[in-house]
Structure 1
Amino acid sequence: MSTYETDFYRWTHEQAAAIRAGRFNELDLQNIAEELESMGRSEKRALDSRLTVLLAHLLKWRHQPARRGKSWQLTIKGQRLAVVDVLDDNSGLAAKLPEILAHAYRRAVIDASSETGLDEELFAGDCPWTFDQIVDAGFFPE
């Protein structure tokens, strides 16, 4: 049994040391490949999660004008910055943006409906905004 299965922390340090020392024959390539793919999925999930929260708040902003407040505004602003940060750090995700945005919107509708008590049918079936609008600091849907 490798340290990958018994002591992940130690395994990561052993693998890093082997790479730095040029001892490539000691590398656990299969598990390294799995971990690299997992890191990519993690970044994709982070973007999806940030977009879901952002879109849910934009939906609430649009459909409940009487409840608009600083808290929603701060969440929208913070999530916009976080979305841009994830994309700045992971430009390869830009190619997946339409897919991620569609998925995040579907989840945002469920979240907004649950949080507001409004029927899911009230919200558009597809995201009504472009990505540029979604991350535009001055955009608050009416």
Structure 2
Amino acid sequence: MTDLARLYQTDYAVWAQRNAELLRERRFEELDIEHLLEELSDTSKSDRRELFSRLLVLLAHLLKWEYQYAQLSERWREFDGRSWRATIVEQREQLAGLLRQSPGLQSAIEDIITEAYPAAVRLTCKQTQLPVSTFPEHCPYSRAQLFDDDFYRS
């Protein structure tokens, strides 16, 4: 094991800085290639997991907004869905930031929406106790609607 590979195990920040210096100096033969590849792969996976997670929460709150809001606001005069709206706004903002930081995720959005939607339906069913038959089989929201700050269906 090289000194740089050992450093990966003991001081990640110094390891990363040292690899960056080696890259800038074009000293490729000294790089810790194995761990660099692992880190690059993990970063991509982490970004995809975050995209999935944020879309899951956004979809679940849009479903609650569309399919439960009217029912609750009729029952409780003071219910205005403020926390749901805040979560929708927050997730849209976080998604926009993630996509600015990792623009390569743009190509994965449609697939991840398709993947996240059934999980969002399950989550919404658990949280609202509405039957699964309440919700469309496929995501009713377009990509544009999901990212549109003014879009709320009711």
Q: Structure 1 pair 9/91, CA: closer, same or farther in 2 (3 Å)? A: closer
TM-score (normalised: structure 2) = 0.82
1:54 corresponds to = 58
Task: For 1:1-142, list aligned pairs within 5 A.
Answer: 1=1, 2-3=5-6, 4-65=8-69, 66=72, 68-142=80-154
Query: How many pairs are equivalent?
Result: 142
Larger Rg: 2
What is the alpha-carbon distance in structure 2 between the residues aligned to residue 28 and residue 121 of structure 1? 52
Give the SS at the match of 2:139: coil
Structure 1 residue runs of 4+, over 3 Å off?
Answer: 5-10
- Unaligned 5+ segments in structure 2 are 74-79
- Unaligned 5+ segments in structure 1 are none
1:59 Cα shift?
Answer: 0.5
RMSD: 1.7
AA at the equivalent of 1:43: D
1:56 Cα shift?
Answer: 0.4
What is the alpha-carbon distance in structure 1 between the residues aligned to residue 13 and residue 146 of structure 2? 39
Give the SS at the match of 1:139: coil
Between the two proteins, what is the percent identity of the paired residues?
38
AA at the equivalent of 1:103: E
AA at the equivalent of 2:127: E
1:10 Cα shift?
Answer: 4.0
2:77 corresponds to = none
For each residue in 1:86-133, what CA deviation from the matched residue of structure 2 results, as whole angstroms up to 9, or x when unmatched? 122222111111111111212111111111111223211110010101
AA at the equivalent of 2:133: E
